Structure 1
């Protein structure tokens, strides 16, 4: 079975059966550091699809007012009105960690391969932790309280702040193109299987493109493997031709790069999604 090798340990396979003490603690530590740096860079690249970085704990989005004009005659003077409407969002800071389970004896006898194994395990745990928390932040439909302890420049934090979910049908109103601000609920589910009579994708598209700046936006749906067959069976499903392959008379030729990242297999398009 092929041994999985962390980034910083590439080229050190011939030393895997050697003790860390023999190879040099600093050399192995550098390999771990390089592995962590490469892992962090890859994770950050993937998270850009779902996560936007910020340095503020809480912010408020002001919305344009709604209503209609006041009726006036030829000498009428309208009463002044003020804009209104806003919603607040806040961001928690959550952390996680892991430690190698070693004692004085096992640490002294540790091999380079064992150090590589521990490094990969820690990276896998980090990827799992991030995936769970990112998905949970999207799927958690209720608000919750986070205690913000530390603010910018070492100042005291804001104290208790409310972490809001996606639009969940509460009283918060959002601007809608060509209409008055409305409440919204972006948590949808269906108990029945996906088929031509129960196709959720057109609804996804119309819901997500009704807001200012989102008209004709590209909407992507990530689906689990167990739904692939039912989605591809939809009448309006259109399989996307493989842009990486050029059809030939005798054999097909690979002409593009293989896509990487979240949802690295593009199945097709259905209901503009």
Structure 2
């Protein structure tokens, strides 16, 4: 599969690069970004953190705003940031142009309903196609972890829980913990998956925890000044499910922090160090 180098910039002696490729899973052209630390060579393949961004975001938000490169360079970890949905001509969007559905809002699931089914297969793209592409074209190992923010936190939790041998660790900032129970998730699930709520459960971290043996370590940070906390995020539901499942969840409520990348900047080093402990443990 061919890659087109869209941009590149040297940072902390490594390289941030954007690439465009034709996705067979999503049936459209996609862009992703990758940060490769200096020590990443064919003779020294480095582990990878996959970062999933939130509603309205692209591959650029985390890479430009999170301030993650210095610590990633220090730890010798690559970071891959995909887009948040399929894009391009012929890819359907929310009919009303709303920010919380359609373009920029793929919810990291495989849609089963028309007209979304043809393109909105973000779960398979993240789990299968993208890692295969990254491992084939860049000096990275098969050791990988997953993290994300908001909708992307939901994606990181659900993908990590459902694929316990694929990811060494899971983390999230301000995740949509129980999408079946909140407006963002209900809108997305109803449109992408239909009315059968047993299908919704396949993409809900709280429901998955009830039905899976979760042994992967999980770190979640949530600001208590987040305007979406009560209506959309509900971290207490994840904590309750983790206690019931005896899952290895550390939930940190951070006083005064909101939903923004200022919050992510503050604690991203903690998350990178958390993942490094597991990525480099084998």
- TM category (shorter chain) comes to under 0.3
Normalised by the length of structure 1, the TM-score is 0.23
Q: Which has the higher helix share?
A: 2
Compare CA radii of gyration and give the structure with the larger one.
Answer: 1
Normalised by the length of structure 2, the TM-score is 0.23
Q: Which has the higher strand share?
A: 2
